[in-house]
Amino acid sequence: MKNLFVTSRPVSWVNTAYPFAAAYFLVTGRIDWVFVVGTIFFLIPYNLLMYGINDVFDYESDLLNARKGGVEGAVLDRRHHRFVLWAAVIATAPFVLVLATQGGVGANIVLTVSLFAVVAYSAPVLRFKERPFLDSITSSTHFVSPAVYGLALVNAEFSPAVWAVLLAFFLWGMASHAFGAVQDVVPDREANIASIGTVLGARFTAWFSFIAYAMAGVLMLWTPAPFAAVLAVPYLINVGPYLRVTDATSASANVAWKRFLWLNYLTGFLVTLTLIWLILRGS
């Protein structure tokens, strides 16, 4: 059980559960059994599936990566691989079956795309994580799709403002993945793993991340909560010092990456206050 807990990346659970819960609650204004089931699914089973597959099929490269073996990724002994994969599937399946009965065609398509992205990122043959730019797109899908699913599940209206929020969130996700790739440029190249970082190099990848964060902030100006654009500022400050990073010094970005993991909790708190403000304004 300890292996399952570690491989599911508890520090990141909220990053997938919160988008679903916030989207569902903001539209319906209620906490019902579907809300609870969906939130639990995106909190634990979804992450166990995503990161379990990643830890199993990235085993060889993770052995060469000094930052693996803690909150940033487990290094599972081979004898645990099959158990982790089976546990991930068994934990996921009941939730998916139940949720599939509650949504229409659109919602189920979103859920299917979300699960496909989770598997395709690390699974053999597909390995989207080794396809530069598609890696960042897929990673962002992991976090944005729960929100889209929450909206689709309750037949929400996808207004221009909603699309602006989702696109801003998507750019945030791409920026975050890209910046995470900066610290792995050297070990990824040594393991012959292609990524947005190995293709662009550390410095250009950091710039890509910085610009994407900035664009996400700008997009928020076209939403009912334009002041939320300032939420991009902490991320810009976090990435800013690394705009001159080189491939040789790219490992130093790990310090900022660790700050990023905890920065999400502060941002999540501020997003919660923003949602409360929107709900109260609309009541």
Best CA proximity match to 143, nearest among 43, 30, 35, 235: 43
- Using CA atoms, how far apart are residues 99 and 92, in angstroms rounded to an integer? 11
Contact (CB, 8 A) for 118 and 142: yes
CA distance 72 to 51: 10
| Structure confidence at residue 283 (pLDDT) | 45
Please name the residue that has the structure tokens 């991340």: 209
Measure the CA–CA gap between 264 and 256, rounded to whole angstroms: 12
35 touches 106 (CB < 8 A): no
Distance from C-alpha of 171 to C-alpha of 215, rounded to nearest angstrom: 7
Question: Which of 251, 240, 256 has the alpha carbon at shortest distance from 183?
Answer: 251
Longest dimension (CA), the chain: 56
Q: Tell me how crowded residue 98 is: count the other CB atoms within 10 A of its CB.
A: 14
Whole-number Å distance between alpha carbons of 111 and 141: 11
Contact 129, 89 (CB under 8 A): no
pLDDT one digit per residue (tens) for the chain, 283 residues: 676 777 778 888 889 999 999 999 989 989 999 999 999 999 999 999 999 898 888 756 555 555 555 555 556 666 777 888 999 999 999 999 999 999 999 999 999 999 999 999 999 999 999 999 999 999 999 999 999 999 999 999 999 989 999 999 999 999 999 999 999 999 889 888 899 999 999 999 999 999 999 999 999 999 888 999 999 999 999 999 999 999 999 999 999 998 998 898 888 878 887 877 776 665 4
Spatial CA neighbour of 145 closest among 122, 195, 111, 179:
111
Predicted local distance difference test score (pLDDT) of residue 82: 86
What distance in Å separates the CA atoms of residue 174 and residue 204, rounded to the nearest whole number? 14
Residue reference for tokens 């900022």: 256
Q: Name residues whose C-beta falls within 8 Å of residue 158's C-beta, 6 or more positions apart in sequence.
A: 151
Does the reported pTM lie above 0.75? yes
